[in-house]
């Protein structure tokens, strides 16, 4: 295969990461029983916190996202991943709301993770970093919200793995979440999703440059493995219709089949590009840990097998959003959340947005989705007594 790594060193290690950092001195007790700390949370904010501290929206990023929601990415230079939604006058209106997005615990854009130096050894954590869960990510975020002096978040939102964090927030800290918007998500990771993640992890671990997780110390980078993991995952973010509409069976820079294993088809070329550009900005070990955190997520299991118990007595206002062509976190999984919220007599809205763009629709220009989110937030802002932007 033709996936040459862009560099032999760990991605982004020489790049200055702009934004804010919170050093948390306390130790965090993780679900695994291990304690971690002190630790760092890197984060970005947009807009201003009002005097009542009542207009804060926490954005939880997805598996391969980061805190650069609405600003150019420091490594790729590309616009923020939710630029389409975040800004003055946009749905997540920075004139009205104070937006916070932390890099998750275990991430690779400045928060403490396997790529950072373990102060105990002076060496990169690598696989000695403790396995953490979605709940651990949220525990770390709570420290940040405490630090910012915010008693109750106006809203917690995010798509995919971000949606899992939203559900965890609403379940574990109901009094601190006025409104919750889990998007294209699930209350537990399905067997199919675990299976896809395992393919990605095996691709990374099969790369000789992974070096049993010690690639940083060896001055190497399992870029080929990580690229393959990204390629496989990227297919799951799209839909058959979207792939067909975009590429069909069109050939790449040629008029006839090449009778070789070059990228004959546009779709191959596209995936290779996705793989190669991903490794520029993402750490392979972080990918292992984060996919694991998703796999371990099962909110019902944490509550005696009954999902509704996770939301007992909640006063949070929920809006669950799914997309018709999302087969990674299909509507049925989102509907399970809705049914559980109904059983808890929670205040919930649920919208399934018609689109052929698959799971990635939550990142894209989907007017119906944006109108729904805007309407829901406006309604909540009214109830919360927030002034119009």
Show which residues are catalytic.
160, 326, 359
365: contact with other proteins by CB under 8 A: no
309: contact with other proteins by CB under 8 A: no
Closest approach of other proteins to the CB of residue 81, in Å: 24
Check: CB of residue 147 under 8 Å from CB of residue 280.
no
In the list 352, 356, 384, 389, the residue contacting other proteins (rule: CB under 8 A) is 352
Closest approach of other proteins to the CB of residue 140, in Å: 31
348: contact with other proteins by CB under 8 A: yes
Count residues binding other proteins (CB under 8 A). 30
End-to-end CA distance of the chain: give it in Å, rounded.
Answer: 52
Closest CB to other proteins among 247 and 350?
350
Closest CB to other proteins among 273 and 335?
335
Closest CB to other proteins among 290 and 320?
320
- DSSP per residue over 275-325, as a string? HHHHHTT--HHHHHHHHHHHHH-BTTGGGTT-GGGGGTT---EEEEEEETT
> Of 34-42, 191-199, 204-212, 312-320, which part binds other proteins (CB under 8 A)?
312-320
The burial of 324, by beta-carbon neighbours within 10 Å (0-12 exposed, 13-18 middle, 19 or more buried), is given as middle
Check: CB of residue 329 under 8 Å from CB of residue 359.
yes
H or E element that contains 159: strand 153-159
The burial of 282, by beta-carbon neighbours within 10 Å (0-12 exposed, 13-18 middle, 19 or more buried), is given as buried
Closest approach of other proteins to the CB of residue 337, in Å: 11
H or E element that contains 236: helix 223-237
Which of 281, 263, 195 is CA-nearest to residue 232? 195
Closest CB to other proteins among 203 and 344?
344
235: contact with other proteins by CB under 8 A: no
Closest CB to other proteins among 214 and 349?
349
> Of 19-27, 226-234, 282-290, 352-360, which part binds other proteins (CB under 8 A)?
352-360
340: contact with other proteins by CB under 8 A: yes
118: contact with other proteins by CB under 8 A: no
> CB under 8 Å to 14, separation ≥6 — which residues?
none
- Residue 352, sorted as left (phi over 0), alpha (psi -120 to 50) or beta, turns out to be beta
In the list 74, 277, 349, 356, the residue contacting other proteins (rule: CB under 8 A) is 349
Query: Interface with other proteins by CB under 8 A: which residues?
Result: 308, 317, 319-320, 335, 338-340, 342-345, 347-354, 368, 371-372, 374-376, 378-380, 382
């Amino acid at each position: 295969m033709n996936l040459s790594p862009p560099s032999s060193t760990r991605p982004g290690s020489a790049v200055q990461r702009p934004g804010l950092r919170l050093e948390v001195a306390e130790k965090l007790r993780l679900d695994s029983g291990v304690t971690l700390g002190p630790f760092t949370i890197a984060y970005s904010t947009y807009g201003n916190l009002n005097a009542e501290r009542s207009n804060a929206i926490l954005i939880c990023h997805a598996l391969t996202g980061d805190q650069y929601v609405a600003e150019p990415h420091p490594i790729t230079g590309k616009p923020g991943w939710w630029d389409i939604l975040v800004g003055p006058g946009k749905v997540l209106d920075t004139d009205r709301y104070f937006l916070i997005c932390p890099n998750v615990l275990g991430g690779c854009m400045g928060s403490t993770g396997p790529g950072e130096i373990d102060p105990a050894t002076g060496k990169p954590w690598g696989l000695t970093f403790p396995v953490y869960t979605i709940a651990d990510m949220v525990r770390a975020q709570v420290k940040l919200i405490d630090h910012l002096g915010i008693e109750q978040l106006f809203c917690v939102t995010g798509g995919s793995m971000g949606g899992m964090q939203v559900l965890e927030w609403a379940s574990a800290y109901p009094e601190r979440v006025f409104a919750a918007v889990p998007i294209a998500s699930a209350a537990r990771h399905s067997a199919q999703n675990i299976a896809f993640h395992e393919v990605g992890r095996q691709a990374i671990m099969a790369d000789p440059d992974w070096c049993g997780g010690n690639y940083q110390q060896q001055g190497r980078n399992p870029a080929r493995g990580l690229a393959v993991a990204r390629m496989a995952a990227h297919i799951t973010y799209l839909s058959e219709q979207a792939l067909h509409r975009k590429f069909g069976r069109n050939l790449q820079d040629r008029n006839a089949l090449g009778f070789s294993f070059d990228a004959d088809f546009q779709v191959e070329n596209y995936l290779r590009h996705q793989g190669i550009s991903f490794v520029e900005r993402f750490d392979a070990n972080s990918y292992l840990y984060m996919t694991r955190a998703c796999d371990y997520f099962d909110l019902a299991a944490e509550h005696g097998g009954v999902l509704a118990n996770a939301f007992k007595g909640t006063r949070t206002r929920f809006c669950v959003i799914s997309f018709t062509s999302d087969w990674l976190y299909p509507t049925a999984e989102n509907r399970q959340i809705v049914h559980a919220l109904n059983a808890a007599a929670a205040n919930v809205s649920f919208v399934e947005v018609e689109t052929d763009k698959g799971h990635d629709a939550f990142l894209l220009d989907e007017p119906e989705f944006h109108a729904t989110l805007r309407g829901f937030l406006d309604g909540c802002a009214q109830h919360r007594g927030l002034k119009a932007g």
